[in-house]
Structure 1
Amino acid sequence: MKKAVQALAAATAVASAHLSAHAGDGQFQLLVLAMPTKYHYEYIPVARESFEKLAKLHAFELTWTAQPGAFEGDLSRYAAVVLLNSSEEEFNEAQRAGLERYMKAGGNAVVVHRAIISKPGLWPWYEKLVGRSFVIHPMLQTAVVTKTDVDHPATFGLPERWIWSDEWYEFSNPHGVSVHPVLAVDERSYDPTKIWPGQVAKGMGADHPVSWWHMFEKGRVFVTALGHNAAMYRDERYLDHLWGGVWWAAKGYGASSKP
């Protein structure tokens, strides 16, 4: 009896990992990878609920997983994959190869917050996919975000100047990748040097993007550094920003969709 209950629970978990908006009648299929990590796990049930609501509202099919093993299978049915706070450091060689095959075949990617961070030199291809390399971030603070690409769908639901609280990641560009900024943070509106003892953050100056897009391999890549706290995944403006990026990555619509 116990084994039967366990088997039923497992089957239910597998079934619930896929949400069909209209029984195969959706606009596209989306894969979201949300792996729990030391600092990013409380957001998962909140983000999943919001993505499921988005799937119903916008008629797309959602596959949600916490296992990077999904990247070892056939990804061709997905219009885009979302790496939601999921570090590439957890990928094994087969999973890395799977993501590379997907992008080289014309797949599209959305990289959110913690998924930007990668160990330097571990997977250079992934650093190029993201377009920028994480350096450090000061303590979470409130700051002013501005639009740098008003024609990108990820900005359509946002005001010209947006007060937001987050970890303001600082970046470098060791691979010389050209990206198109969508949002930037105004460093005059927070203290870029406010950080924990023993660490140093200097800020990036006037040119400090926090969201961008670019074309990589044969696909579209949308990146946002925003999204640290669980409560953010209930914020309508943040979800407008995130959904705009997902929609653009999956469909390619919007004035900024061409290089």
Structure 2
Amino acid sequence: MKKTLHTLAVAAAVAGTTVPAQARDGQFSLLVLAMPSKYHYEYIPIARESFEKLAKLHAFELMWTAQPGAFEGDLSKYAAVVLLNSSGEEFNEAQRTGFERYMRSGGNAVVVHRAIISKPGMWPWYEKLVGRSFIIHPMLQTAVVTKADAGHPATFGLPDRWIWSDEWYEFSNPHGITIHPVLAVDERSYDPTKIWPGQVAKGMGADHPVSWWHPYEKGRVFVTALGHNGEMYREGQYLEHLWGGVWWAATGLGVQRRP
């Protein structure tokens, strides 16, 4: 058996381009872009199965694709688009234009893990959409995640202190974007400096968001830095977090605010 896992994942992703998982009678339509890359490909069939189950359970229409060319078409039918470990830095000019037009027309976006990362200065509009710029991350470690906004649906399925293992991305804010943190990581619960030789990670201190939301153009953006490996897309609490963010982005509903 000479085929690598990467080859198989690429073939599966391409073969499964834009297949609806729900008849056209759902609450809303969702587009998920999941492109295989060097470090993120094994998650794709697992995440797809989980999203298809969510679509059936929660009655929404799902379109799954590995091709960013979908952003050159009509996105107006989608209540939200999900960039699942798929960064906008891979988009060509026509796809960038299509995404910008969608958001400026009231579209909504969900940005997951690797999709946060883009080359500085390549597409400033996308950097602003994400709301933070990736700097570096230490080695994957177990840490304590806390609720920064217990009134957001992306936190409803989580305990107040959640033990989770991930790559704890560090961020900067070169564009001065105001975000609303949903989850944060407690840096006292892991070693922010544990990294590979020749690299330096310092941590972010007490203010270290790992999930947030903010308005952008005429739409809503939900971001989570969590979701590095495939098994996470089988884990119930992570899926509760991700689904809560997707549902909010698509509908704007569910947020609980104190009187």
Fold shared, TM-score > 0.5 on shorter chain? yes
After superposition, the CA RMSD in angstroms is 1.3
Q: Which residue of 2 aligns with 1:171?
A: 171
Taking the TM superposition and a 5 Å limit, the aligned residue runs for 1:11-160 are: 13=15, 17-21=18-22, 23-160=23-160
Whole-Å separation in 2 of the counterparts to 1:137 and 1:255: 30
Whole-Å separation in 1 of the counterparts to 2:256 and 2:96: 28
Q: Deviations 1:167-199 (Å, cap 9, x if unpaired)?
A: 000000000000000000000000000000000
Q: Secondary structure at the match of 1:157?
A: coil
Relative to the length of structure 1, the TM-score reads 0.92
Whole-Å separation in 2 of the counterparts to 1:188 and 1:53: 36
Whole-Å separation in 2 of the counterparts to 1:18 and 1:250: 19
Whole-Å separation in 2 of the counterparts to 1:153 and 1:75: 25
Q: Which residue of 2 aligns with 1:235?
A: 235
Q: Deviations 1:119-148 (Å, cap 9, x if unpaired)?
A: 000000000000000000000000000000
Closer, same or farther: CA 73–189 of 1 in aligned 2, 3 Å: same
Whole-Å separation in 2 of the counterparts to 1:180 and 1:26: 29
**Code of the aligned partner of 1:112:** V
Give the deviation of 1:18 after TM superposition: 2.2
Contact 1:84 1:111 in 2 (8 A): yes
Q: Deviations 1:144-176 (Å, cap 9, x if unpaired)?
A: 000000000000000000000000000000000
Whole-Å separation in 1 of the counterparts to 2:124 and 2:238: 29
Give the deviation of 1:20 after TM superposition: 4.0
Whole-Å separation in 1 of the counterparts to 2:122 and 2:187: 30
**Code of the aligned partner of 2:207:** D
Give 4+ residue runs of structure 1 displaced > 6 Å after superposition. none
Count of residues in correspondence between the two structures: 244
Closer, same or farther: CA 256–103 of 1 in aligned 2, 3 Å: farther
**Code of the aligned partner of 2:92:** N
Whole-Å separation in 1 of the counterparts to 2:159 and 2:229: 21
Gap runs ≥5 in structure 1? 1-11
Contact 2:21 2:52 in 1 (8 A): no
Whole-Å separation in 1 of the counterparts to 2:219 and 2:126: 14
Whole-Å separation in 2 of the counterparts to 1:165 and 1:250: 27
Q: Secondary structure at the match of 2:171?
A: strand
**Code of the aligned partner of 1:70:** A
Relative to the length of structure 2, the TM-score reads 0.92
Taking the TM superposition and a 5 Å limit, the aligned residue runs for 1:157-236 are: 157-236=157-236
**Code of the aligned partner of 1:19:** P
Q: Secondary structure at the match of 2:214?
A: strand
Contact 1:80 1:250 in 2 (8 A): yes
Gap runs ≥5 in structure 2? 1-13
Q: Secondary structure at the match of 1:149?
A: coil
Q: Deviations 1:230-251 (Å, cap 9, x if unpaired)?
A: 0000000000000000000000
Give the deviation of 1:87 after TM superposition: 1.7
Whole-Å separation in 2 of the counterparts to 1:133 and 1:146: 21
**Code of the aligned partner of 2:200:** V
Contact 1:20 1:26 in 2 (8 A): no
Q: Secondary structure at the match of 1:191?
A: coil
Q: Secondary structure at the match of 1:103?
A: helix
Whole-Å separation in 2 of the counterparts to 1:256 and 1:49: 30
Q: Deviations 1:75-103 (Å, cap 9, x if unpaired)?
A: 00000000000022211000001100000
Q: Which residue of 1 aligns with 2:7?
A: none
Q: Secondary structure at the match of 2:196?
A: coil
